[in-house]
Amino acid sequence: MKQKKIYMWLLIVILIGSGIYFAFTYFNSKGNEETSPIEAGEHSPRNFSENQQKTWEETITIGAIGDILIHGVIYEDAQEGLTYNFDPVFEHVKDQLLAPDILVANQESVLGGKELGLSTYPAFNSPHEVGETLIEFGVDIFTTANNHTLDRGEKAILSAIDFYERMGVPYVGHFKSFEDQNTIRVIQKNGIKVAFLAYTYGTNGIPVPEGKEYLVNLIDLDRMKADVKKAKKEADVIVMSIHWGYEYHRLPNDEQRLIAEEMSRSGVDIIFGSHPHVLQPFDWIETEEKRTFVVYSLGNFISGQIGEYREIGGVASIYVTKRIEEDGTVTIELKDPDFFPTWVANDNRTNFRVVPLIEADKHGMPNAKEKNEEIMEHMFQWIE
């Protein structure tokens, strides 16, 4: 009897042990199924990529137009009672102005407003309504450092700045204080931060008031390099507008080339030139530090000047791509520069309007298509 009890207990122990063993084997194998690699054919690319670091890439277009130089014949033509309407001046190229993601315009005549008294050459002051139309038609930032910045003094500059601030649009080149001057203008689009800087060779002999050097940025290589260094900390791309060169010369001079090379070495990505009042070509500057795109002169976009090449301007643009690699490396690529030529049409010094050059035969220019081809060859003669 005692022996039977011993056998019974052994059987119970064996059964319990077997149960524990099979239970452990079952649950262990089930856990292994859940953590084992999925076969390639059953793998979901979406689920896999969500657990990995990704590259990021975005592209924008940056565009620029040249001198907005409002002579008396233009603002008189735009007058409607007590106000001014510049929509007809730019409506033929509105689509081209709206096309770039960011568009910069060189406002050469100060937008001091009619309250100060409008004026033409040699001391310009233009109505605010010019800016209102340009903003509505696509301009995102105005450069304001040029030889006419001090034409009507500090009052006109402060009135222009008040206008820009009311419109919520940045300006760069003239300023209201040292603090304002030291603030880098940055526009962000699609995750790409673009800084804008602007300088001029001089102010037509009008001295900058002592203690108010902030009123206009003058070309000073040391100061410019310091501004670029500061802008690098705040933006991915640096665009610099420079008022330089010889008037009415269709090619850049040695000084322009030297400044452009110095700015490229300091870190500037894009340079838009003005002052010659005629178009000067595109160029790539290759330095040890980077590749810089230069438009030596954008010419006149709108002005009352007379002369075939002084009446031709256009919209320059370039693609800018920002890429962030998996390891965090950031690269900026500039590619595919383009140009859309324009012409300032008028009817015996009235009805001023900026029109596509290729369609200028509809507005009185003979051989418009041939002239358009000539201008494109001129602008692209140094680059492919």
Q: Is 316 helix (H, G, I), strand (E, B) or coil?
A: strand
pLDDT digits (tens, 9 = 90+) for 192-226: 999 999 999 999 999 999 999 999 999 999 999 99
**Residue-wise DSSP of 251-273:** S--HHHHHHHHHHHHHT--EEEE
Ordered domains of the chain (ranges, CATH)? 56-379 (3.60.21.10)
How far, in Å, CA of 259 to CA of 273, rounded? 11
Count CA atoms within 13 Å of residue 142 on its CB side. 30
Cα angle for residues 335, 326, 232 (degrees, 5° grid): 55
- Lookup result for tokens 């990529």: 49
b/e for 75-105, b at 16 or more Cβ within 10 A?
bebbeeeeebebeebbebbeebbebbbbbbb
pLDDT at 18: 52
How far, in Å, CA of 146 to CA of 303, rounded? 15
Of the chain, the percentage scoring pLDDT greater than 70 comes to 86
Q: Is 119 helix (H, G, I), strand (E, B) or coil?
A: strand
Write the CA distances from 65 to 103, 167, 278, integer angstroms.
8, 20, 12
- Lookup result for tokens 């001295």: 207
Name the β-bridge partners of 102.
62
pLDDT at residue 26 tops 70? no
In this structure, of 21-25, 231-235, 375-379, the range with the lowest mean pLDDT score is 21-25
Write the CA distances from 134 to 29, 80, 144, 339, integer angstroms.
71, 18, 14, 19
* Confidence (pTM): 0.86
pLDDT at 322: 98
Q: Is the distance from CB of 312 to CB of 291 less than 8 angstroms?
A: no
pLDDT digits (tens, 9 = 90+) for 70-96: 999 999 999 999 999 999 999 999 999
- Lookup result for tokens 């008189």: 76
Average pLDDT, the chain: 90
Strands (E), 45-123: 56-68, 79-80, 83-84, 102-107
Q: What angle separates helix 153-167 from helix 128-136, to the nearest 10 degrees? A: 30
pLDDT at residue 190 tops 50? yes
Token output for 13: 């122990």
- Provide the Cα torsion 252, 256, 262, 268; round to 10°: -80
Token output for 193: 């931060």
Sign of CA dihedral 73, 164, 160, 139: negative
Q: Is the distance from CB of 267 to CB of 281 less than 8 angstroms?
A: no
DSSP H/E element including 370: helix 368-379
pLDDT digits (tens, 9 = 90+) for 253-307: 999 999 999 999 999 999 999 999 999 999 999 988 789 999 999 999 999 999 9
Name the β-bridge partners of 244.
none
Cα angle for residues 113, 175, 253 (degrees, 5° grid): 95
How far, in Å, CA of 199 to CA of 62, rounded? 19
pLDDT at residue 47 tops 60? no
How far, in Å, CA of 95 to CA of 153, rounded? 35
Name the β-bridge partners of 270.
239, 293
Write the CA distances from 309 to 94, 104, 306, 315, 371, integer angstroms.
22, 22, 9, 15, 10
